[in-house]
Structures are given as C-alpha cells and as structure tokens.
Amino acid sequence: MVANPRHLEHTSNIGAIDWRSVLRHVAVSRALDDLEEFTLLKDRKVLYQFSARGHDLTQVLLSTQLTGKQDAVGGYYRSRPLLLGLGLPLEEALSSTMMRAGGMSDGRDIGVVFNLPNKTGPCVLPVCGGVGAQYTPAVGWAQSLRYRLKQLGSKDCENSIAVAHGGEASTATNGFWAALNIVTTERLPFLFFIEDNGYGISVAASRQTPGGNIARNLESFRGLRVLEGNGSDPLAAAALIQDAVAGVRAGDGPALLRLIVPRLSGHSGQDTQTYKSAEEIAAEIARDPLTHLRAQLVPGTLSAADWDLEISQARALVAQTLAKVERRAQPDPKHIQRHVFSETRADGSLELQQQGGLRGAGVVPATGTDRAEPQGARINLVTAVRRTLEHELATNPRMLVFGEDVGRKGGVHAVTLGLQERFGIERVFDTSLSEEGIIGRAVGMAAAGLMPVPEIQFRKYADPAAEQLNDCGTMRWRTMNRFAAPMVVRIPGGFFKCGDPWHSQSNEVQWLHGVGWRLAMPSNAQDAVGLLRSALRGNDPTIFFEHRSLLDSASARRPYPGDEFVVPFGKASCLREGNELTLVTWGAMVERCEQAIDASGKSVELLDLRTLSPWDREATLASVRKTRRCLIVHEDNITAGFGSEIAAVLAKEAFFDLDAPIERLAMPDVPSPHNPLLLDAVLPSVETIAQSIHSLTEI
C-alpha cells in the first residue's frame, strides 16, 4: 500500500527537527538560485543553471536525516539543497557554477554536478549529467555497506544507508529499473527519493509512467516499501522523510518515497516554460514550500522578524560569497590534461584521490615483481586468470568478483570455477542480468574503498553498461582527483572457432575513446597473470580483455609465473628481433604473426603491445626507426581501429625514417561473421600477413 502521513510505521520525531536551521539552508539555496538565475546567467558568469526552487525544502529535510556514519547519496543536477544541508561549503558551490578554480571540478564540469567526499559521515558520489546514472552506483554503495560490515568488520556501516535522489522522469531510465531490481532482490538498505515536479523538461509525468505516478505503479513490487506525499507541506513531508529513512535504517529493506513538489523555474536557465499555461504556473507558485514553511513556523516557532532576519542574512551571506568567488582565479588551462589517470609526483609518491579505491581507503597493495619465476607445467589462460584471481582474493579482503554466472557455474568460460566455494557468496557472486547494474554497482563499491572485479559475459554485452563505463572513466578527471573508482572489468571477446556479431566482437578501440580506462589485451598466460595482477593492485579502472580463442589455446599456455609477478602497463614485449620490418600486434593476432614471420623467411621484429592504454610508443618508434618499415595487424575493424592511431603517430614521428608506407591489416568494416569459412575470409590470416610482409619488405 502507498503510505500517506496517516500510515507511518516508525515513531515520528519531527519535534527534534531544528526548523530554524532548515529555514536557513532553504533560504541560502533560494538566494543562490536567485543570484544565478536573475543575475549571473545574464552576465554570462554562469552558463548552465538548474534552479532547485520548489525542491529545496524536501531536500534540506532529507539532509537532516542522513546521520549514518557511512550514508551516501547518489544525486542529480537539482540536488544542491541536499548537498548544502550535508555540508557543501557555499563558496565551493558557487565557484563550481561560476567555473572558477577549485570547486568540485576546477571548472571542468557543469557546476551543479557536485560531489562530496567524506569518509566519516554522509558522502555524495560524483553526480553525472546523464539522467538515471545516479542509481546503480548508489546501489553499489548500499551493497558495500553489508560487505564492509560483514567481511571487514566496519561497525560504521551498521545502520548506514544509501539514497538515490532523482526526478520523476528519471524513473523511466534503465538505471532506475536496474537499481530497483537489485535492491529489492538483495534487500539492500536503499532509499529512492523521488521528487516529482510533474515535468521532465517539458514532458509530462504521464508520459514517463502510466498514470503519471511511479509510487502507485510500484505498490505491488515485491520487497519495496512505497510512500508518497506532498513535498510542499513541511510537517507531512518531514514525517514521511523521517519514516522512510528510519525504515531503511532499521533494516526493513529498500523503500521509495515520492514527494510531489512544484518546479518554480524553468527546467534550466534557458527554459522559458512556454509549454505551461499561466494557470499552471500560478498553481505551482501557490504550492511554494517556502510560503508553506512560513505559515507553519510564524509566529508559533519564529517571530516574523526572525523569519525576515534569516532570509536577509541568507541573501547577505550569498552576496559576500559572491564577492569571494569573484576574487578567485580562473582555472589554469595548463592543467587540463591532468588527473585523467592516477598520477605520481616527482618523488614517486601518489597524488591520491580523496575518496575511492583501495588507496582511498588507506590500503596500499604490494608492488610485486616483474621477474617471472615459472612454476610447474604450462597452464592455459583460463587457469592463469583463475589462479591470479584466487591469490588476490586470498590476500585482499576488499576484492569482490561478480557477474552473470560467475558463482555456482564458475562463469560461462569456467574462469571463476571454484572461487565462490572457496571465498563465499558475499565475495564471489552471481548478479542479475543487467550490465548497467553490474558496472554501476562496481562504481559505488569502488567509491566505498573496495576493489570490484565485475565480469561482462561477452564483449558485445558491455553495450548496456556504456553509460556507467564512460562515467567511471571520467570520474577522476571531472572531480579533479576528488573521487576515483578503480576496478578491473574482465571481458572475454573476439572470435573463437567461429565468429558472430554477438559473442565474437573485438572492438577494443571503443575503450580507447573511453577516457580514463586502462586496457590490457594479453596474448598468453604469463602476461595475463602479470597484467591482471598489476590492474588488481592498481589505482585506475581497467578493462582486462580475455580473448576467447586464447582461453585454451596451446600457443597461449605458459608456466605460472608466481604469486607476485606483475607486468607493468605500457611495456610492449619484443617477441622476435629483426631488421627488415616491424610488425606491431596484440591479443589473438600474435600467434598468427609469429607463424607468418616463420613462413616469410624475412627478418621481422615482432612487438606484442600487451596493453593499448597506455601503449608503448617508445618501443614502437625505436623499432620502426631501426627497421624502417611497419606493418600493424589487428582483429578489430580497420576504419579508425587502433592501427590508425599507431600509423598516425609513426607518420608524424618517424616520417623521415620510413622506406615504405605504413601498412595495416585488419578486419574489414563488417561485424564478425559466423560461418568459419566467412570468418577466415575477413580475419588477417597467416597467409595474408605473410603476403603483406613480403610486399612491404620488397618495396
């Protein structure tokens, strides 16, 4: 049943609310909105403005309830009053929208997408511009609370909760439904705090969900407590918010609270609201929660003079803050390429993010050794990855492995076989079939100081997670190193005995446009161990590509190189030395290139790049300067494949050293075909590679 204030289940304590403090925060939020909307936008000192007028009272009330030592919020662009209530400094808030130095992002991101690192009180995960992107990371935080309490004994996590804040239109997004499904299935301490202002820009709520009321539609959703009410009514809203939070905190499971609020401005500073009638706008103004708050407080709780004083003090405070922000410097363009990845200072120390990752939680993993100590018989790539995961799980209690079928079955490629048995269901677990949920959840876990290792079952099925992958990669940069979410995403892909457009895509180049991601593409079991371990102990999000044709191939087998073996990223492996031609490749093409070199009888230098982000430019340039010719072979489609990037760098940097054009051999621009005959026709083969070696060396 949808609860209203008459059906509250937890003892209400609205008497404990400091209404004067609530008024103060709402008044400051209003004064900020007014300043931006009516002055700074016109002066072009703010370029993107999202007023929270009408949403402010409910958000400030929510902030008073987020008292858990490990509470976290996933918010959106209209969440500023909530953040102000949680301690966002006013000067940082305004310098963010005014794009000044410092702030949330040093002028890199739109000012209203805030973040609030906090390891000992409520934190706010980095807000994204994409509607609905806030939900699954908040779910990851909620799951981390259970994990940290049970597995790490973090008492602070007891009774802490995660809240996701969004508008009613965001309940139509993939992220919302992915989150809803996970929190109810897993019974996580999670609150959906939905402020329904009736519009998603200009689209009415009735086009987002049947009947326009998401609360009503979710009444029968199993495992979800649903509440709703009027966000303009201070007492009713306070009671509902208290009750919803108290229920989640008490362990009743997830809840959704829908509060109806007026949107007292256009969607953004640019929006003139011509789609609303004058009557509608007047009716919204009549629902202004600030007016209702005054009626509530004056004169019983506050005198009219005290009320006016709070309003004028808020305006004065905002005016003083503006003066300070105006004196702040503009961000320095010199630094714009910084903090894409984790950085070290000249003395070798890490420039640590404020929150996220193992290091953000104060854990510094051992560095390992790049000297292999081969042990025993040769193992295949599957065993190599499994053994590495096993050792790291055994030595790092903050690491979790999860994805579709990775638990009892041990993964569709058997890579995680036996890991759940050994480490338990909290650390190695099956997820629901939602890639958005898998990666989004990993983002929240990483922000909470864990090392998530999600598996995407096949390369193509990372597509539904594209938004979370993208936002994860840019997190460090857009928060100016305040937050980072290091994780290792294992993704099998590429052809096997046959191809097909679903399980066999390679398409690695997409990750290289995903700013902030490291990418490893090992060609053998030894490199797989070393690269995976580097990534698991690293401080950046990493895609670890497990090529399907290499999982059990004879060519990829190597002895296990030891429990501390690491391969540093960005170091190519020179597999053959030669002086007539440099052949650059990676992944499953390595074996074909070796065979082609043998068949050609030419002196060819073979570089296996091993990682593409970063890639070893120096080794490639040095080799090409020596051999004066270069052939690049890859499985990914040829147009704008990574070979183009390598060729462009060589053309610029080694132009006068070249005796022949740089050549690329790659899959034409078609999806991977299924029939092996068709697949063979499009993949670079030993024969076509050998032919290219011949024609290039004979120029």
Ligand X SMILES: Cc1ncc(C[n+]2csc(CCOP(=O)(O)OP(=O)(O)O)c2C)c(N)n1
Which residue numbers are catalytic?
A: 503
Q: Which of 49, 105, 115, 170 binds ligand X (CB under 6 A)?
A: 170
**Is the peptide bond between 614 and the residue preceding it cis, with omega within 30 degrees of 0?**
yes
Nearest to 420 by CA among 409, 431, 412: 409
Rank residues 190 and 199 by Cβ distance to ligand X and give the closer one.
199
CA dihedral 302, 308, 310, 315 (to 10 degrees): 170
Rank residues 201 and 285 by Cβ distance to ligand X and give the closer one.
201
Smallest gap from Cβ 48 to ligand X, in A, equals 11
Strands 343-344 and 350-351: antiparallel
Examine residue 199 and tell whether it contacts ligand X (CB under 6 A): yes
Rank residues 170 and 457 by Cβ distance to ligand X and give the closer one.
170
Nearest to 451 by CA among 419, 487, 485, 425: 487
| Piece in contact with ligand X (CB under 6 A), picked from 167-175, 234-242, 306-314, 665-673 | 167-175
Rank residues 199 and 495 by Cβ distance to ligand X and give the closer one.
199
Site for ligand X in 114-133 (CB under 6 A): 129-132
User: Phi first, then psi: what are they for 637, rounded to 5°?
Assistant: -55, 150
Smallest gap from Cβ 219 to ligand X, in A, equals 20
DSSP-assigned states of every residue in 125-178? PPP-SSTTTTHHHHHHHHHHHHHHHHHH--GGGTT--EEEEEEGGGGGSHHHHH
Examine residue 36 and tell whether it contacts ligand X (CB under 6 A): no
Residue count (the chain): 699
Angle (deg, nearest 10), helices 686-697 and 589-600: 50
Smallest gap from Cβ 214 to ligand X, in A, equals 10
| Piece in contact with ligand X (CB under 6 A), picked from 177-185, 198-206, 503-511, 671-679 | 198-206
Smallest gap from Cβ 439 to ligand X, in A, equals 15
Structure tokens at 212: 């326009």
Nearest-angstrom CA–CA distance, 520 and 570: 9
Examine residue 258 and tell whether it contacts ligand X (CB under 6 A): no
Nearest-angstrom CA–CA distance, 617 and 603: 21
Site for ligand X in 58-87 (CB under 6 A): 78
Query: For residue 204, what is the DSSP state?
Result: E
Site for ligand X in 614-633 (CB under 6 A): none
Rank residues 276 and 674 by Cβ distance to ligand X and give the closer one.
276
Residue pair 521/587 in contact (Cβ under 8 Å)? The answer is yes
Exposure pattern of 505-517 as b/e (b: 16+ CB <10 Å)?
Answer: bbbbbbbbebebb
Examine residue 169 and tell whether it contacts ligand X (CB under 6 A): yes
Rank residues 168 and 404 by Cβ distance to ligand X and give the closer one.
168
Query: For residue 369, what is the DSSP state?
Result: B
Smallest gap from Cβ 195 to ligand X, in A, equals 6
x/- string (CB under 6 A) for ligand X, residues 131-150? xx------------------
Residue pair 104/479 in contact (Cβ under 8 Å)? The answer is yes
Smallest gap from Cβ 279 to ligand X, in A, equals 20
Instruction: For tokens 């410097």, name the residue.
Output: 329
State the number of binding residues for ligand X (CB under 6 A). Answer: 15
Nearest-angstrom CA–CA distance, 480 and 343: 12
> In the complex, which residue's CB is closest to ligand X?
167
Q: Which of 200, 234, 464, 516 binds ligand X (CB under 6 A)?
A: 200
Smallest gap from Cβ 131 to ligand X, in A, equals 4
Q: Which of 68, 74, 140, 166 binds ligand X (CB under 6 A)?
A: 166
Instruction: For tokens 């190597």, name the residue.
Output: 558
Nearest-angstrom CA–CA distance, 215 and 220: 10
Rank residues 201 and 425 by Cβ distance to ligand X and give the closer one.
201
| Piece in contact with ligand X (CB under 6 A), picked from 10-18, 192-200, 374-382, 567-575 | 192-200
Examine residue 214 and tell whether it contacts ligand X (CB under 6 A): no
Q: Where are the beta strands (DSSP E) in 561-603?
A: 573-576, 581-585
Rank residues 135 and 565 by Cβ distance to ligand X and give the closer one.
135
Smallest gap from Cβ 33 to ligand X, in A, equals 13
Examine residue 53 and tell whether it contacts ligand X (CB under 6 A): no
Examine residue 167 and tell whether it contacts ligand X (CB under 6 A): yes
Q: Which of 197, 380, 420, 474 binds ligand X (CB under 6 A)?
A: 197
Which sign, positive or negative, has the C-alpha torsion 598, 600, 605, 609? Answer: negative
Across the beta sheet with 190-196, the strand order is 123-124, 72-74, 162-167, 190-196, 255-260, 225-230
Smallest gap from Cβ 192 to ligand X, in A, equals 12
Q: What 3-state class would DSSP assign to 72? A: strand
| Piece in contact with ligand X (CB under 6 A), picked from 163-171, 340-348, 376-384, 543-551 | 163-171
Strands 518-520 and 542-547: parallel
Q: Which of 36, 106, 168, 616 binds ligand X (CB under 6 A)?
A: 168
Instruction: For tokens 């998603």, name the residue.
Output: 200
Q: Which of 267, 547, 592, 664 binds ligand X (CB under 6 A)?
A: 267
Residue pair 576/593 in contact (Cβ under 8 Å)? The answer is no
Rank residues 53 and 592 by Cβ distance to ligand X and give the closer one.
53
Examine residue 204 and tell whether it contacts ligand X (CB under 6 A): no
Rank residues 200 and 641 by Cβ distance to ligand X and give the closer one.
200
Smallest gap from Cβ 440 to ligand X, in A, equals 13
**What does the binding site for ligand X look like in residue numbers (CB under 6 A)?**
78, 129-132, 166-170, 197, 199-201, 267
